[in-house]
Amino acid sequence: MTPTESEGAHSVDLIASLRDAPLFSRLADEQLMRIARHARRIHLDEGQTLFQQGEPAASFYLVCRGRVKLFRMSPDGNEKIIEIIREKRVFAEALMFNDQDRYPVSAAALSASELIAINSADFATMLHESVDICFMLLGDLSQRLHGLIREIDDLSLRTGASRVAFYLYTHLPEKHDSFLLDLSKSVIAARLSIKPETFSRIVRNLSEKGIITVQGRKISVHKRKALRDIAG
């Protein structure tokens, strides 16, 4: 299914959405206007593909609403989620810094989503013209890189049970004992590099120990310290 593009999107609306994103928040009005002239809104239904691995990479994207997963398929047909992009974040912008002109991953919407597609060639020209924009983009890329490195460390050094406990513990609000999972259990399992049935078994084991209870998407934590100890 091909993403449907909004027609006649006003530059004012695009500029407002761009300014709301941390990466673009410090740009001058004329810089935002230039980006908006070469940008377009895209609406995706849940599960709809934005691009496939290997397709030409002419744009990078800002998520205005919803969530997008970046993933690759393994030779045995299993999906490996590389990253989940949430609102106000950009993705595929790093391709401007190398000679790679095709997307190395696929992208699909985890929920109904609205994005802004930004022309990579024009933005790259802006980078050549402005050192400030270069440093802003490099700072954003650096933060994401450090986050991915921490995640790799967590996945390589933790057991499956520890990964699940760590995920639940880090999503638990400090002053509350429950929260709602904002992703499906299969997506969380893929993000943690475990099988869905393994995720379900670990959650069931935590429930049997009285550490948590599960009601649909709601997770209630009764023994915060025990969950933290398992998380490591």
Mean pLDDT calculated for residue range 80-97: 90
- The amino acid sitting at 142 is S
pLDDT digits (tens, 9 = 90+) for 7-48: 344 578 899 999 999 888 888 888 899 899 889 999 999 999
pTM, whole model, 2 decimals? 0.77
Query: What would the CATH number be for the domain defined by 158-231?
Result: 1.10.10.10
pLDDT at site 6? 47
pLDDT at site 156? 67
pLDDT at site 198? 95
79 C-beta neighbours (distance < 10 Å), count: 14
pLDDT at site 144? 73
64 C-beta neighbours (distance < 10 Å), count: 21
**180 pairs with which residues across the strands?**
218
**Residue ranges of the chain assigned to CATH 1.10.10.10:** 158-231
Superfamily of domain 4-153: Jelly Rolls (2.60.120.10)
For residue 97, what pLDDT band results from cuts at 50, 70 and 90? confident
For residue 214, what pLDDT band results from cuts at 50, 70 and 90? very high
**Residue ranges of the chain assigned to CATH 2.60.120.10:** 4-153
d(CA 50, CA 67): 12
- In terms of Cα–Cα distance, which of 61, 141, 153 is closest to 107? 61
| Torsion sign (Cα): 197, 202, 203, 208 | positive
